[in-house]
Amino acid sequence: MPAKIQPEHHNASSAGTMPGNRARNKLLREQQLLQLAQNILQQDGFAGLTMDRLTAASEVSKGTIYNHFCSKEDLITALSVDSLQRQLLLFHQVLALPGHSRERALALHYAYYRFSTAEPTLFLCLLSATTAAVVEKTSATRLAQRQALEQQLLSCCEQVINQAIADKALQLQAGRGIDQLTYLQWALAFGANALYGPSQQMGFFQGLEQQQLMLAGINLLLDGLDWTPLSGQFDYQQSWRRIAAALPQTQAAQ
Amino acid sequence: MPAKIQPEHHNASSAGTMPGNRARNKLLREQQLLQLAQNILQQDGFAGLTMDRLTAASEVSKGTIYNHFCSKEDLITALSVDSLQRQLLLFHQVLALPGHSRERALALHYAYYRFSTAEPTLFLCLLSATTAAVVEKTSATRLAQRQALEQQLLSCCEQVINQAIADKALQLQAGRGIDQLTYLQWALAFGANALYGPSQQMGFFQGLEQQQLMLAGINLLLDGLDWTPLSGQFDYQQSWRRIAAALPQTQAAQ
DNA sequence: TGATTATTATGACGATTCGTCAATTTAATC
DNA sequence: GATTAAATTGACGAATCGTCATAATAATCA
């Protein structure tokens, strides 16, 4: 198959001298459409999300919707981009909190956890958006958007690790890079959230109190890295609660 | 929605006194159909897997196929059951190898890793099969099959932990149960494999050598649990290689 | 302002795929 | 060999995706 390129559906940025009115409206409507799509998704799940249904819910026609999203998959990716933006916002919020480097790492874990539980639907969206079937039918610009956001999220993580090294709270062993540390932590966070989280994935771990467990896992990992202060010397439960309290509370995702 | 129950499509086990010929044939054909479905999946991805296509590839008609799988989603779940069986087989194989308890835990991690890389398509299947959209349209018997297999996999993990406790290689801290240890390890393994693994999920961690990294992560976690011998006192790279060599080699995924 | 051109919106339509079911073939039983 | 039970078939209806000729709207120019 000769890798059919998805049409671009000229977004705001392109043709230079638009009087600006059109472009603004277009962006606005795109936001509205995404919001409608999310409502449908939360109400009736993935199976319920239909282009015709979205058309009915909106005030425009199907053709117009296809002017914004070149396929249903492109819409999914657009939702995932939206999710990543929220996630990044959370990251920035918790990074603005005071605390030493390891507390900030913990804060990122908390933000990730918070997002996955507060917005289980969007978390699922992020997963599906990485599927080959979806990627293949997504426009190049949107894929680029997602990649850029992923990069920014990673930057947040690396920034914390760099701070830890600068503060001498953490020492990199030979052959172990910042990217590896990021990877391991991300894997643990992702796995823990995905396994427990939305739509009772992997139904077998249900009775456990996830927050305590995640904190324990993070502590094991970071203690293993000798990231000071170690969990024996510091009350990270307290930190966790403080971070939780500092974030604008959501209505406890069910 | 009043939770529509999926029809059962009387499998082998049901009505007692069948002359056995029919039932055997039915099971056989089911295996063949699953194999065909896997071929299609590996060749053309999820988008390519169509009931009509499967019909064409097989030598029976669509109606007959729907006699085996009450929906496309039921087929997906059937594939995931198949995957879990293979995974369980791998677990049993590595558990038959010699070694102390921590090496056996490592062996399970290796088996999981091996499966996810050798059969990326099936690994994906396992993921999608946990999706609400799929579960809702899957027959009850097949769901039960999957649950039973999951339970068996968990048993393997718990068995290793129990052995470790019996051998005094590991001591459970207060308030930390075997299920929690299993959960943490599973989360790390799942996350690491899903992030890196099939269909370049989460494309941002590409350049790393996954095996070294996984081993490092596992060691951090198990060292944190004080599971002896600690990674400083034992060459787990050696163990990893030995386990890898002991498994019947697959033709390096892709 | 009125005429011309470029852009955007519309929804009927073709194509694809899922799942069903009345009719038929095949196997089991008497 | 006749009768009954079970399994198979493939044409069909329904749902959904994505397209495109036509219509409406906005921008530009005389």
Is residue A217's pLDDT more than 70?
yes
Tokens (6 digits) for A182: 């990021």
B224:A219 CB<8 A: yes
A225 plus A142 within the same structural domain:
yes
Of the residues B13, B38, B68, the one at which a domain ends: B68
More confidently predicted of A180 and B144: B144
Mean pLDDT of chain A: 87
Q: What is the token pair recorded at B224?
A: 């944190």
Question: What is the per-residue pLDDT for B253?
Answer: 40
Residue B205 host element (H or E): none
Task: Work out how many domains chain A is built from and give that number.
Answer: 2
Chains A, B: CB contacts within 8 A come to 137
Question: What's the pLDDT score for residue B133?
Answer: 85
Query: Residue B177 falls within a domain, yes or no?
Result: yes
**Nucleotide whose C1' lies closest to the alpha carbon of residue A60:** C9
- A115 occurs within a structural domain: yes
Q: What is the mean pLDDT of chain B?
A: 87
Q: Which of A42, A68, A94 is the endpoint of a domain?
A: A68
Q: Chain A contacts of B46, Cβ < 8 Å?
A: 131-133
| A50 & A146 share domain | no
Q: Is residue A8 part of a domain?
A: no
Print the domain residue range for A32. 19-68
C-alpha distance from A35 to closest chain B C-alpha (Å): 21
Q: What pLDDT is attached to residue B22?
A: 66
pLDDT computed for residue B219 by the predictor: 93
Candidate from A120-124, A232-236, B30-34, B236-240 with smallest mean pLDDT: A120-124
Query: Tens digit of pLDDT for each residue in A46-69?
Result: 889 999 999 999 999 999 999 999
Instruction: Mark which of A6, A41, A68 sits at the end of a domain.
Output: A68
* pLDDT (tens digit per residue) in A75-112: 999 999 999 999 999 999 999 999 999 999 999 999 99
Which residues from chain B sit within 8 angstroms of residue A116, using beta carbons?
none
The string of pLDDT tens digits covering residues B5-23 is 676 665 444 333 345 566 6
pLDDT digits (tens, 9 = 90+) for B171-206: 998 777 898 899 899 999 999 988 876 555 555 565
Task: Provide the percentage of residues in chain A whose pLDDT is more than 70.
Answer: 85
What CA–CA distances, in Å, run from B149 to B92, B141, B155? Answer: 13, 13, 10
Q: What is the mean pLDDT of residues A132-152?
A: 93
On whether the CB atoms of residues A51 and A72 are closer than 8 A, the answer is yes
Whole-angstrom Cα distance, residue A103 to residue A239? 7
* Distance (Å) of CA A60 to CA A52, A66, A67, A139: 11, 11, 11, 21
Q: Is A12 contained in some domain?
A: no
A29 three-state secondary structure:
helix
Q: Based on the domain organization, do A50 and A133 belong to the same domain?
A: no
Tell whether B94 and B160 lie within a shared domain: yes
Q: Report how far residue A244's alpha carbon sits from residue A85's, in angstroms, rounded to the nearest whole number.
A: 20
Cβ B217–A221 below 8 Å, yes or no?
yes
Q: Coil, strand, or helix at residue B145?
A: helix
The CATH number covering residue B152 comes to: 1.10.357
- Max Cα distance, chain B (Å): 62
- Does residue B92 sit within a domain? yes
- Residue B82 Cα, gap to closest chain A Cα (Å): 16
Q: Please, are residues B227 and B170 in contact by the beta-carbon 8 Å criterion?
A: yes
Instruction: Please give the pLDDT value at position B205.
Output: 61
CA–CA distance, A182 with A164 (Å, rounded to integer): 13
> Mind listing the pLDDT tens digit for each residue in A3-17?
456 766 544 443 333
As a whole number of angstroms, the distance between CA B89 and CA B83 comes to 10
User: What per-residue confidence (pLDDT) applies to A45?
Assistant: 86
Q: Are residues A41 and A103 in the same domain?
A: no
Same domain, B102 and B61: no
Quick: pLDDT tens for B111-161: 999 999 899 889 989 988 988 889 989 999 999 999 999 999 999 999 999
Indicate if B177 and B61 belong to the same structural domain: no
* Nearest-CB residue to B191 (from A131, A191, A213): A191
CATH number at residue A36: 1.10.10
Q: Encoding tokens for residue A26?
A: 């277009």
Question: A164 and A207: one domain?
Answer: yes
Token duo for residue A185: 């932590």
Structure-token pair, residue B136: 């809702």
**With an 8 Å Cβ cutoff, are B217 and A187 in contact?**
yes
Assess whether B43 and B96 both reside in one domain.
Answer: no
* pLDDT tens for each residue of A102-112: 999 999 999 99
User: Which one has a higher pLDDT value, A55 or A136?
Assistant: A55
Residue B212 — pLDDT band, cuts 50, 70, 90?
confident
Footprint of strand C on the protein (CB under 7 A): A 10, 15, 18, 22, 26, 29, 59-64, 66-67; B 17, 19, 21-22, 49-52, 62-63, 66, 70-73, 137
- A4: in domain: no
In this prediction, residue A168 has a pLDDT band, given cuts at 50, 70 and 90, of very high
CATH of the domain at A142: 1.10.357.10
Structural domain includes residue A10: no
Predicted local distance difference test score (pLDDT) of residue B131: 84
Q: What is the largest distance, in Å, between two alpha-carbon atoms of chain A?
A: 61
Contacts of A194 in chain B (CB under 8 A): 190-191, 194
- Is B245's pLDDT higher than 60? yes
Cβ contact B77:B138 at 8 Å: yes
Search chain B and give the residue with CA nearest A49.
B133
Tallying the residues shown for chain B, one arrives at 254
Percent of chain B past pLDDT 90, that is, above it, reads 67
Q: Which residues contact A236 (CB under 8 A, 6 or more apart)?
A: A102, A103, A106, A215, A219
SS3 content of chain A, % helix, strand, coil (to 5): 70, 0, 30
Q: Residue A90: which of A60, A63, A123, A64 has the closest Cα?
A: A123
Report yes or no on A61 lying in a domain.
yes
Is the domain of B139 the same as that of B213?
A: yes
Which H or E run includes A167? none
What is the rounded average pLDDT of the residues B215-232?
A: 93
| Protein CA at B20 to nucleotide C1' at C30, angstroms | 20
- Probe site for chain B from A202, A206, A211, A214 (most B CB atoms < 10 A): A202
Pair (A38, A64) in one structural domain: yes
Is the same domain home to B64 and B92?
no
Closest CA to A120 of A41, A185, A218, A53: A41
Chain D footprint bases within 7 A of protein beta carbons: 6-11, 15-21, 26-28
Rg (CA), chain A: 20
Which pLDDT score is estimated for A249?
73
pLDDT value, residue B85: 96
Please tell me the number of Cα atoms within 13 Å of B236 on its side-chain side.
29
Exposure string over A219-243, b if 16+ CB within 10 A, otherwise e: bbbbbbbebbeebeeeebeebbeeb
